């Protein structure tokens, strides 16, 4: 165990390591555990000073029980960290391992929510708190009202096709009050301070130009001649429009720039696509349907390299979902309105088969990775 502690001490305090002296108070320890549980987890070493000096914990306290009581009584909802007493250079250290919490958001008894940023702990910002609640499935950002929008920001031609195809309803034949009622009940509109405004989902799905109000909802596309982002750029575009257009346009761009390896069969020359069209469609649908639209500083990026396609979507996986679970079709949609409408439009089949289909078609050539607040899918070319 000495080598493990030695390695942690050598790192110093960082985003996954915190040092506390034996004098740490219950509220201080709770704050550290909350921050780790609300982000990516980490290790707390009690009996180590801020400068990394090992001072140890005294024998007069049952540290296992004390830490467990703090985790159970000073954190809402309670957590269950791994607690171990280890020896290091003739001193005892209490090692507390906190995993990424499955029941975020966690808060202290005073109602404050804490997050880990680098080697520091601070209160969650409004945006961070919104993402924590979304991850828990407690709020859905896609039905949030968009300030300053009006009914006319929605494209009635798009709405006409949607209601006609999915509900056999002629939207254009309805009176204005009935149209408004229908869109309010569908969560495409919402009431805000006595006014009727568009929702995030309404704009994303049926907006005349959603990016006018939601500029981060576009997709940044790039084609690179090579394997590194610093290699020659063949083309770069910002894809705009409502969600269905984003899917169709971006799939077309990827197909345009995908290298088509040549295979000779007898005297005939055949060209094959290394990534099936179905895979590209599923990957793009997942990106636009499940990204975190509360992260206004990032856009979905799609990059075609000579050896792979990378699709990077803002927003890590929700609370109960892991990289392993998504491979079996397990999901917890953060944008229920988007998923429902895309299901109605037959972009999604509602059975959770998207990622399993990608895996069946691509095998180990499809790789998912969480990178901070981003989810990256890499599709390697055959």
Q: How confident is the model at residue 137 (pLDDT cuts 50, 70, 90)?
A: low
Flag whether 184 is in a domain.
Answer: yes
Task: Check residue 221 and give its pLDDT.
Answer: 98
Q: Are 249 and 367 in the same domain?
A: yes
Number of domain units in the chain: 3
Flag whether 48 is in a domain.
Answer: yes
Task: Check residue 154 and give its pLDDT.
Answer: 97
Q: Are 104 and 168 in the same domain?
A: no
Q: Are 37 and 86 in the same domain?
A: yes
Flag whether 133 is in a domain.
Answer: no
pLDDT digits (tens, 9 = 90+) for 212-231: 999 999 999 999 999 999 99
Q: Are 189 and 257 in the same domain?
A: no
pLDDT over threshold 90, residue 299 = yes
pLDDT over threshold 70, residue 357 = yes
Q: What is the mean pLDDT of the chain?
A: 90
Task: Check residue 261 and give its pLDDT.
Answer: 62
Q: In the sheet that 91-98 helps form, which strands lie side by side, from edge to edge?
A: 17-20, 42-46, 91-98, 82-88
CATH code, 323: 3.30.565.60
Q: Are 376 and 245 in the same domain?
A: yes
Q: Are 169 and 269 in the same domain?
A: no
Q: Are 40 and 114 in the same domain?
A: yes
Task: Check residue 270 and give its pLDDT.
Answer: 56
Task: Check residue 349 and give its pLDDT.
Answer: 73
Flag whether 137 is in a domain.
Answer: no
Q: Please tell me the distance from the alpha carbon of residue 39 to that of residue 2, in angstroms, as a whole number.
A: 27
Among 91, 124, 157, residue at a domain's last position: 124
Kindly state the percentage of the chain with pLDDT values over 70. Answer: 93
pLDDT digits (tens, 9 = 90+) for 176-212: 999 999 999 999 999 998 999 999 999 999 999 999 9
Q: Which of 28-32, 70-74, 116-120, 160-164 has the lowest mean pLDDT?
A: 116-120
Task: Check residue 234 and give its pLDDT.
Answer: 96
Task: Check residue 1 and give its pLDDT.
Answer: 46
pLDDT digits (tens, 9 = 90+) for 267-294: 565 555 589 999 999 999 999 999 999 8
Q: Are 346 and 230 in the same domain?
A: yes
Flag whether 104 is in a domain.
Answer: yes
pLDDT over threshold 60, residue 3 = no
Task: Check residue 274 and give its pLDDT.
Answer: 80
CA 179 to chain centre: 34
Flag whether 130 is in a domain.
Answer: no
Q: Are 20 and 98 in the same domain?
A: yes
Burial class (CB within 10 angstroms; exposed 0-12, middle 13-18, buried 19+) of 9 = middle
Flag whether 43 is in a domain.
Answer: yes
Range of 175's domain?
142-210
Q: Are 163 and 189 in the same domain?
A: yes
Q: How far is CA 23 from CA 20, 81, 100, in A?
A: 8, 20, 26
Q: How confident is the model at residue 233 (pLDDT cuts 50, 70, 90)?
A: very high
Task: Check residue 47 and give its pLDDT.
Answer: 95
Flag whether 349 is in a domain.
Answer: yes
pLDDT digits (tens, 9 = 90+) for 54-104: 999 988 899 999 999 999 999 999 999 999 999 988 899 999 999 988 888
pTM: predicted TM-score of the whole model, two decimal places: 0.71
Q: Are 51 and 158 in the same domain?
A: no
Q: How confident is the model at residue 259 (pLDDT cuts 50, 70, 90)?
A: confident
């Amino acid at each position: 165990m000495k080598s493990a502690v030695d390695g942690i001490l050598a790192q110093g305090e960082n985003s996954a390591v915190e040092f506390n002296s034996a004098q740490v108070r219950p509220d201080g320890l709770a704050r550290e555990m909350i921050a780790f549980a609300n982000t990516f987890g980490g290790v707390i070493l009690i009996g180590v000073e801020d400068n990394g000096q090992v001072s140890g914990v005294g024998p007069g306290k049952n540290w296992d029980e004390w830490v467990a009581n703090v985790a159970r009584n000073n954190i809402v909802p309670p957590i269950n960290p791994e607690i171990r007493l280890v020896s290091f250079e003739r001193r005892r250290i209490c090692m507390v391992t906190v995993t990424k919490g499955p029941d975020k958001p966690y808060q202290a008894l005073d109602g404050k929510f804490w997050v880990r940023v680098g080697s520091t702990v601070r209160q969650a910002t409004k945006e961070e708190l919104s993402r924590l609640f979304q991850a828990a499935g407690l709020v859905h950002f896609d039905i949030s009202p968009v300030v300053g929008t009006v009914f006319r920001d929605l494209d009635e031609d798009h709405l006409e096709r949607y209601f006609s195809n999915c509900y056999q309803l002629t939207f254009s034949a309805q009176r204005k009050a009935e149209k408004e009622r229908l869109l309010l009940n569908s969560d495409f509109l919402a009431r805000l301070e006595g006014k009727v405004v568009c929702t995030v989902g309404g704009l994303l799905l049926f907006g005349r130009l959603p990016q006018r109000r939601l500029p981060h909802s576009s997709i940044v596309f790039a084609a690179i001649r090579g394997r590194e982002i610093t290699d020659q750029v063949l083309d770069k575009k910002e894809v705009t429009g409502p969600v269905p257009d984003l899917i169709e346009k971006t799939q077309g761009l990827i197909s345009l720039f995908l290298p088509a390896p040549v295979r000779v069969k007898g005297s005939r020359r055949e060209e094959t696509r290394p990534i099936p069209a179905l895979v590209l469609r599923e990957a793009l649908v997942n990106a636009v349907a499940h990204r975190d639209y509360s992260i206004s500083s990032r856009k979905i990026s799609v990059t075609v390299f000579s050896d792979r396609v990378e699709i990077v979507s803002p927003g890590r996986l929700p609370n109960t979902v892991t990289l392993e679970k998504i491979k079996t079709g397990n999901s917890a949609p953060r944008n229920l309105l988007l998923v429902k409408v895309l299901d109605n439009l037959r972009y999604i089949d509602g059975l959770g088969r998207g990622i399993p289909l990608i895996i069946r078609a691509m095998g180990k050539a499809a790789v998912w990775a969480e990178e901070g607040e981003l989810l990256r899918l890499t599709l390697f070319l055959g």
